[in-house]
Amino acid sequence: MNLNLLCRCCKSRIIKKKNPEFIESAGLHETAYKMEWIKFKEDNSELPVTEREWENINDIPEVGETYILKICEPFDEEIGAVFTNLFEPWQMAVNGWDCAESQEDIYKAAAVLCRFVDVIWSDDFSAYIHVEVLNVVLLSDLHKVLPVHLCDRPVELFDDSEDVWTEYEDEHWLNRNWTGQGDVGSEQLLYTDENGVNHEVMTSWYDFHDDTYTLSNNVSKPGAFPFGDRKRYIYLVSCQFRMGWGYMDSLHKQRQYFAFCGQTDGSLSVVLIRHRETFRLGKDYPVGGAYNYKQAEEFRTKYIDGRESCEGENAVIREFVEEYLSGINE
């Protein structure tokens, strides 16, 4: 028996596009569902399933145990199939990471390998199913078990929209989100390890017929690591031309993006740029490349000339850049 469900909006049946890759080192699939982990309340066990009250579970699923998932689209699996599903304590699962009851709950979030056992109840739009738990990996451990993928892009950048917000942040986790009027959206999870390296361990995308969570271990290529911390970064494109870009969080928690480049007279220009420009900048001028005078001049023309200089209340950005450049020239 195959279980896939209808979209509540257009009433079409949602079919899985392809089977996700299974990553042996982690014992998980590359992509995961995010279906609710629930339990029925014991005091109404005699009632029909559709009339019974249930609640989300708050403890990490255990290997070998059987649990109930509340299913909706885009779930598409056969009985006996093995798939990966995310687990988050109930407040996080329902309302987001910023609503976790405690920091301890944040570190319960996990990716869980499940076997589809049977269907308890279903209609065209939802279902309750039994699953057997085969493997559990905490999201905070994903960077230890997933193969490292070195990226040309800075993993700290997320989406090309200026409407990205930080939902949760602590010394290790950074959870950022974007949504387009609630109909489409994306999420990024960054984990900073004990060596200060940022790992992009999960990204997601949802729209009307999709709700995909991709597990990963994306790390910026050596030489592309930023100077600073998660609140201020510098990416040095060229040491020779003192050319690069970065961002800094202001006291008002507003993220400001900047570019800098040495001038032919020996001075240094540091200017403000727009968030969306950093994606084109990072693609056209990757960190660690070999650049000549002509390319440096093109950089100045595109990203420096005519821009607002970092002076006055933004002088702290210039000071940050100068501190970095003086350090690498010592």
Give, as one character, the DSSP assignment of residue 59.
Answer: S
Domain stop point among 197, 220, 243: 220
Do 315 and 270 fall within a single domain? yes
Chain-centroid distance of CA 133 in Å reads: 25
- Tell me whether strands 198-207 and 210-220 are parallel, antiparallel or unpaired: antiparallel
Same domain, 110 and 22: yes
> Do 201 and 268 belong to one domain?
no
How confident is the prediction for the chain on average, in pLDDT?
87
Residues 114 and 156 both lie in one domain: no
The stretch 30-57 carries a mean pLDDT of 88
Of 114, 140, 166, the residue that ends a domain is: 140
pLDDT tens digits, one per residue of 175-218: 988 887 667 888 999 999 988 888 999 999 887 677 789 999 99
Residue 252 shares a structural domain with residue 304 = yes
Q: Count structural domains, the chain.
A: 3
Mark which of 140, 157, 188 sits at the end of a domain. 140
Look up the domain containing 312 and give its range: 232-329
Q: Token pair of 43, please?
A: 């005091």
Does the residue 226 lie in any domain? no
Domain assignment present for 58? yes
If pLDDT is split at 50, 70 and 90, which confidence band does 224 have? Answer: very low
Residue 225 falls inside a structural domain:
no
For residues 31 and 54, state if they share a domain: yes
Residue 253 counted as domain residue: yes
Predicted local confidence at residue 213, as pLDDT: 94
Cα–Cα dist 137/110, whole Å: 5
At CA 144, angle to CA 139 and CA 146, rounded to 5?
A: 80
pLDDT in tens, 122-168: 999 999 999 999 999 999 999 999 999 988 777 877 765 556 778 88
pLDDT tens per residue, range 177-188: 888 766 788 899
